[in-house]
Amino acid sequence: MKKRNMKNLIKKENRLNKSIIYLLTFTILIFSNCKNDDTQNCGCDSETLFNIPNEELQIPIQEQKSGLLFYKHPENIDGFYDDDKYNNRFWIFRKTSECNICETHFIICNEELLGTEYDYLKQQNVSDSIPIQFSGNVKQLCHLRATPVAYSYAEIVLTEITQQ
């Protein structure tokens, strides 16, 4: 009985380690070409860091493509990117199942792809989030800030989005 519990603990630890490695890799990719005085290497029009989905990431494809779509109102405070530039925009929130503290935040560049289907989220006092499936090209933020390793932020040019 003790061996089985030990094996389960080792499996959980390995999954957590993989999730942390994924987040470290993601964070390194985002910060790797960072230059504060060169905005050509960041933002929606910059080079793509990687695509979602991406078979090289240590996270299942289906999980990579799942998230919650919400509209970031100025009164919705984000501890790291509560900046006017990122307010009044659609965001995608994704949590990694194997890591309870791991979060990814994508700020959508091409909101026109959403059409008008989600415009009701822009209304005052609406704080709903919609489960979605998505794919896209991940871009580096221009205003990089130090964040905990388990949190990552990027802009994304969506190539596809569907409601779950």
Residues 72-86 have a mean pLDDT of: 85
Q: Residue 20's pLDDT is what?
A: 54
Mean pLDDT computed over every residue of the chain:
82
The pair of three-digit structure tokens given for residue 137, joined into one six-digit string: 């090209």
Residues 5-16 have a mean pLDDT of: 58
pLDDT score of 22 more than 70: no
Range of the domain at 120: 2-163
Q: Residue 89's pLDDT is what?
A: 96
Q: Measured between alpha carbons, how far is 34 from 29 in angstroms, rounded to an integer?
A: 10
Tell me, what amino acid is at 4?
Answer: R
Q: Residue 58's pLDDT is what?
A: 83
pLDDT score of 142 more than 70: yes
Q: Measured between alpha carbons, how far is 135 from 131 in angstroms, rounded to an integer?
A: 14
pLDDT score of 47 more than 50: yes
CA–CA distances in Å: residue 36 to residues 39, 43, 53, 112: 7, 12, 28, 28
Q: Which residues pair with 107 in a beta bridge?
A: 91, 155
pTM more than 0.85: no
Reported confidence tier of residue 32, pLDDT bands at 50, 70, 90 = very low
CA–CA distances in Å: residue 144 to residues 5, 22, 54, 79, 98: 42, 19, 23, 13, 26
Tell me the residue length of the chain. 164
For residue range 83-140, list pLDDT tens digits in order: 788 999 999 999 988 888 889 999 999 999 999 999 999 998 899 999 999 999 999 9
pLDDT score of 148 more than 80: no
Q: Residue 100's pLDDT is what?
A: 83
Number of domains in the chain: 1
Q: Residue 78's pLDDT is what?
A: 84
DSSP 57: S
pLDDT score of 13 more than 70: no
Higher pLDDT, 25 or 97: 97
Q: Residue 103's pLDDT is what?
A: 92
Q: Which residues pair with 135 in a beta bridge?
A: 160
